[in-house]
């Protein structure tokens, strides 16, 4: 799937409800309350944090291509929507196999470990114990050294290569795609290709190659979780965290469970109330038992549900006009719960998040 198709897919779900930067923040995995809400409201889990290092220039180029091709258009207030041609095109896009909400950029840590392991095996099998490692990250280097001292101890290079090869082939992806994937790896006498080199070799745009690479990693990691093997399981350790909350929201939740009010949490953590509100919305999104009744009356929830359905919108500014007596925070909490209760929209079967987007090990 091309980068342009990914962007069109996202816009099709946000259709007429958000500005273009909502898609940009989503793909980068911005941990703001708005982006997390959008992910839940519009079932955007596959795309969250899929490209943590996405540059605004690359995003804007793709956005302008969709505009110039007549697939999307902007309202007077700059919200973006699909044209008739865009809807036809979006309907023809194949299934999304990204799982960004689960990995949120941490698939790059898996690849960094894999790349250093492959490079080390290649050099050691050639009798070369001195080489420039492909990653300078001391944590990754320490982890890979530990692997060679434990689960890889006594294993032959052929055995290690076979486990990696079998794992990749088990994804069911085509040979050409897997060949592009492994061309990013470095071995003795062979450097991994840069994105530009791979683009020139394959005639594929760099952004399309990056999307394919991330999706391949997600598919592979999903397979490793279902069919674990010693090395691949070790390399993928920690790419899925236990908590669906970001670290700061989790701390806020702990204090709230301990009996502190929002105001007390704000004072104790020295955070703005708007930040604490963001945390509470995030908690409401992820906790089926969130006590919404403590923040607004039950009849308000039903009223907002009905009005959102009648107007076919979840835009806060529109709903606020219908409910001037409710605060934006109350509306956000209600929408957070409605998004959770609506369940999957049938687009795909992405997993739930367990880790915030990271900026290390960049694409």
pLDDT at 363 (0 to 100): 40
Q: Are the C-beta atoms of 80 and 130 separated by less than 8 Å?
A: no
Q: b or e along 285-300 (b: 16 or more beta carbons within 10 Å of the residue's beta carbon)?
A: bbbeebebeebbeeeb
Residue intervals of the chain classified under CATH 1.10.10.10 are 3-96
Q: Kindly state the DSSP code that residue 190 receives in the 8-state scheme.
A: B
Single pTM value for the model: 0.86
pLDDT at 34 (0 to 100): 84
pLDDT at 351 (0 to 100): 39
Q: Kindly state the DSSP code that residue 245 receives in the 8-state scheme.
A: S
Residue 9: both structure tokens together: 């897919």
Q: Are the C-beta atoms of 301 and 334 separated by less than 8 Å?
A: yes
Report the first-to-last Cα separation within the chain, whole angstroms. 17
Helix (H) or strand (E) holding 224: helix 206-226
pLDDT at 344 (0 to 100): 43
- CATH code of 3-96, in short, is 1.10.10.10
Q: Measured between alpha carbons, how far is residue 180 from residues 23, 135, 213 in Å?
A: 27, 20, 8
d(CA 22, CA 14): 9
**Beta carbons within 10 angstroms of residue 162's beta carbon:** 12
Spatial neighbors of 143 by CB under 8 A, at least 6 apart, are: 113
pLDDT at 313 (0 to 100): 87
Three-state SS string across 329-354, please? HHHHHHHHHHHHHHCCCCCCCCCCCC
Q: What is the pLDDT along the chain (363 residues), one digit of tens a residue?
A: 899 999 999 999 998 889 999 999 999 998 887 888 888 888 899 999 999 999 999 999 999 999 999 999 999 989 999 999 999 999 999 899 999 999 989 999 999 999 999 999 999 998 888 899 999 999 999 999 999 999 999 999 999 999 999 999 999 999 999 999 999 999 998 899 999 999 999 999 999 999 999 999 999 999 999 999 999 999 999 998 566 777 788 999 999 999 999 999 999 999 999 999 999 998 988 888 889 999 999 999 999 999 998 998 888 889 999 999 999 999 999 988 887 666 543 334 443 333 333 333 334
Three-state SS string across 66-107, please? HHHCCCEEECCCCCEEECHHHHHHHHHCCCCCCCHHHHCCCH
Q: Are the C-beta atoms of 37 and 332 separated by less than 8 Å?
A: yes
């Amino acid at each position: 799937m091309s980068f342009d198709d990914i962007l069109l897919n996202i816009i099709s779900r946000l259709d007429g409800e958000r500005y273009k930067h909502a898609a940009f923040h989503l793909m980068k995995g911005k941990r703001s309350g708005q982006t997390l809400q959008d992910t839940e409201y519009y079932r955007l889990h596959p795309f969250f944090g899929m490209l943590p290092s996405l540059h605004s220039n690359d995003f804007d180029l793709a956005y302008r291509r969709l505009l110039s091709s007549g697939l999307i258009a902007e309202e007077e207030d700059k919200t973006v929507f699909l044209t008739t041609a865009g809807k036809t095109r979006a309907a023809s896009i194949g299934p999304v196999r990204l799982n960004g909400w689960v990995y949120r950029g941490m698939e790059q840590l898996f690849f960094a470990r894999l790349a250093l392991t492959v490079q080390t095996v290649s050099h050691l099998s050639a009798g070369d114990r001195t080489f420039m490692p492909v990653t300078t990250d001391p944590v990754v280097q320490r982890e890979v050294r530990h692997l060679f001292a434990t689960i890889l101890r006594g294993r032959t290079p052929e055995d290690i290569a076979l486990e990696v090869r079998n794992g990749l082939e088990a994804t069911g992806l085509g040979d050409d795609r897997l060949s592009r994937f492994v061309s990013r790896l470095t071995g003795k006498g062979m450097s991994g290709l840069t994105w530009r080199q791979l683009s020139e070799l394959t005639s594929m745009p760099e952004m399309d190659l990056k999307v394919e690479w991330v999706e391949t990693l997600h598919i592979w990691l999903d397979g490793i979780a279902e069919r674990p093997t010693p090395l691949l399981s070790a390399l993928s350790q920690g790419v899925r965290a236990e908590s669906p909350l970001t670290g700061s929201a989790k701390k806020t939740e702990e204090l709230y469970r301990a009996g502190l009010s929002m105001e007390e949490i704000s004072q104790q953590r020295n955070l703005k109330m708007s930040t604490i509100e963001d945390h509470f919305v995030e908690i409401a999104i992820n906790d089926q038992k969130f006590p919404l009744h403590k923040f607004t009356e039950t009849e308000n929830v039903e009223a907002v549900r009905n009005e959102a359905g009648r107007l076919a919108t979840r835009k806060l500014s529109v709903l606020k006009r219908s409910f001037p007596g409710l605060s934006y925070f109350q509306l956000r909490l209600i929408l957070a719960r409605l998004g959770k209760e609506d369940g999957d929209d049938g687009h795909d079967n992405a997993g739930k998040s367990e880790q915030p987007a990271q900026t290390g090990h960049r694409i």
